[in-house]
Amino acid sequence: MRLDQYYVYPTCSPSRVALLSGRPPSRWGILGPIAGKSTLALPPETVTLPRILSRAGYETAITGKWHLGLRPEFGPWKYGFDHTYGSLHGQVDQYTHHYKFGDVTWHREGTFTEEEGHATDLIANEAVEFLRSKRDKDRPFFLYVPFTVPHYPLQKPETWTAPYNDAIENESRRLYAASMTHMDDAVGKILAALEVEGIEENTLVIFSSDNGGQEQWQGGADQYDGRHGPNDVLGDNRPLRGWKGGLYEGGIRVPAAVRWPGHLAPGVFDQPMMIQDLLPTIAGLAGAQSPSSVEGTPLEERPFYWRTGRALAVRQGRWKLIHHGRTLAEGNDELFDLVADPNEKMDLAAKEPAVLKRLWKSLEAQASADAPIPPRPRRRGDRSPARPRREPAGGGSGSELK
């Protein structure tokens, strides 16, 4: 069943927080990718999906990219996973498995390790091995398989690029297509393992991207020792507007599907849903207790909320408000009717003051629950006063309209 209006966050770490915690990542100040040597991490005491399922008797495993803490003390083994394999960092070289600045990050069961092979193959093979031999077959399981592709650096042998040599002229797009095909093949191997094990009809499979497609990647000589990049063309989110990192639909509305033979009929589910919905949904199916505050809330009434270091947004029903500003006290607003205008071509902020006011209240309520946002560092010689806050049309607190 294809999920036609499935929302995530505009970058990777925040989407992973939302998946595993069922809460907005901004509650912990995680507004973008955890990168470099950052000490930012999801707090280890967080109630996570694997912890919830463990208490319900499930065996839990991750094979792939973690990206919610870059040091061993914040590895997945600290958050409820019984078996762990893959990379702590994002943006790893597909063959050396090192982070872009050379950090060793590939691990098995909490210990750093060096292995040979493309990351896509290693992640898939580990997932298949878990299904066929590592798990306790007398227990139910939760297996989380976050692949590293099609994130850069794009590295593919001729086996995967050859089918596109004549069809795609641009080298970056050709590598991107090959990466997607390689991942598709890897997913097929995992599905085949479920069939071989005779558990296909007793296993719910969920596939999701973690953010919208990225337009391009510039790279740099300080990354991967200058071996990779740049890529002039990567993803393509058309007809949706925007890219990875932004709060237009192209950055946050992504491909997703669920598969449960004998339980879910093939088709399209076209109601809006968000990645946080998975925790209470999975917990409910597993008979586990969920801490999620959205249980019992009518689907059409609950707000979807996003925050990056540059903007905030909320969707409620057919309406979506994007506030371009680091905080609510600065910036400007755009308002879109996603039913009539799913590609966000017409800003209605000036024409729908009552709707704007209502969504502003929702946005303020969500932002008030976030972790404090540190003040923007002032540049040397910058003596300008803070930008004054203005009220949106129709009254209520807000900032100047676009």
331-367 confidence digits (pLDDT tens): 999 999 999 999 999 999 999 999 999 999 999 999 9
φ, ψ of residue 282 to 5 degrees: the values are: -65, -45
pLDDT at 382: 41
Instruction: Provide the 8-state DSSP code for 365.
Output: H
Q: 138-152 burial string, b = 16+ CB within 10 Å, else e?
A: eebbbbbbbbbbbbb
Catalytic residue annotation: 12, 67
pLDDT at position 240 over 90: yes
| Lowest-confidence pick of 60-74, 206-220, 376-390 | 376-390
pLDDT at 385: 37
| Lowest-confidence pick of 42-46, 220-224, 258-262, 293-297 | 293-297
127: Cβ–Cβ under 8 A, 6 or more apart, which residues? Answer: 63, 143, 145, 190, 193
Mean pLDDT of the 160-176 span: 96
Both tokens assigned to 247: 């709060």
Kind of pairing between the strands at 106-108 and 83-87: antiparallel
pLDDT at position 378 over 70: no
CB atoms within 10 A of CB 239: 9
What percentage of the chain has pLDDT greater than the value 90? 88
Q: CATH topology of 2-285 equal to that of 303-402?
A: no
First to last CA, the chain: 39
Q: How confident is the model at residue 393 (pLDDT cuts 50, 70, 90)?
A: very low
Domains in the chain: boundaries: 2-285, 303-402
Mean pLDDT of the 145-153 span: 96
Question: Alpha helix (H) ranges present in 197-314?
Answer: 249-252, 278-285
- Edge to edge, what strands does the sheet with 205-208 contain? 205-208, 256-259, 2-3, 268-269
Element of type H or E holding 12: helix 12-21
Residue 113 Cα to chain centre, angstroms: 26
Class of domain 303-402: alpha beta
Please provide the size of the chain in residues. 402
Fold type of domain 2-285:
Alkaline Phosphatase, subunit A (3.40.720)
